Amino acid sequence: MHTIPIMCNNMSISKTRQLLVDVARQLFAKNGLENTTMNDIALSSGKGRRTLYTYFKSKEDIYYAVIESELERLSDKLDEVAAKKIRPQDKVIELIYTHLSMIRETVVRNGNLRAEFFRNIWMVEKVRKNFDDAEIELFRKVYTEGKEVGEFDIDNIELVADITHYCIKGLEVPYIYGRIAHGMTEEATKPQVAKVVYGALGKLNKR
C-alpha cells in the first residue's frame, strides 16, 4: 500500500534535483563557474538555499552534477547508435562522429562554462570515468559483433577498444576548435576516416 507514495516521492526528488542541475548549468554557461554562487542557483531555481544544500554540499558538487548530466546526454546518444541495425563497420564510424559532434555541441552550448572543461580538466576527468568506461564497453561489443560476422580481424578486442576510445578523446579539443578538416563537411571527411579506421581494424571484406 505504501509503494505508490514512495515512488511519487522519489520522482519528486529526482525532478527537483534535475531542476537544480539545469538551472546551475544555465548560470554557469552565462556567468562562468567562478562568478556563480550557490545563492544565485537557489534564487534562480525558486527552491531556496535549504533545498539546494539538501542535494548539494557545495558549488563543486553541483558542477560535477552538471558535467555528469551532460555526459549522460552523450552516453544516451551513443547507446542509440550502438543499438542501430547497421553493419559494425558503419556503426564504428557513426560512434566516432557522434562522440565528437556531441562533445562540441556540449561545449558550445555551455557558453562561459566551456573554459572550465579545459581549465579544470582534472575535475572533469574524475567525473568522466564512468562515461569513459561505458564507451569502451560499447566499442568492445561492436568489435566483437564485427569479428563474429567477419568484418574485422582483431586479435585483442579489449586493447583495440581502449585505443579507439583514447584516440577519440585526444581529438576532442582540436575538433571543437575546428583544427581538424577545417572547412570540410562531415560527409566529405567520412570516407577518409573510414579508410584509417578500417585499416587499423584489419577489415576483411570490402563493400
CA atoms 190, 192, 195, 197: torsion sign: negative
Q: What is the dihedral of CA 129, 131, 134, 138, to 10 degrees?
A: -130
CA-to-CA dists, residue 10 to 6, 42, 49, 84, angstroms: 6, 21, 20, 32
CB 55 within 8 A of CB 16: yes
**Span 15-40, average pLDDT:** 91
pLDDT tens, residue by residue, 91-111:
999 999 999 998 888 888 887
Return the residue matching grid coordinates 544565485: 40
| Cell, residue 23 | 538551472
pLDDT at residue 207, rounded to an integer: 47
Burial of 46 (0-12, 13-18, 19+ CB in 10 A): exposed
Mean pLDDT of the chain, nearest integer: 85
**Span of 91-100, 126-135, 146-155 with lowest mean pLDDT:** 126-135
Assign 3 a pLDDT band (cuts: 50, 70, 90).
very low
What is the DSSP-derived secondary structure letter of residue 182?
A: T
Element (H, E) at 163: helix 157-176
Q: For the chain, how many residues are written?
A: 207
Q: Cβ contacts of residue 131 below 8 Å, gap of 6+? A: 71, 72, 74, 75
Best CA proximity match to 117, nearest among 135, 103, 131, 98 = 103
pTM of the model as a whole: 0.80
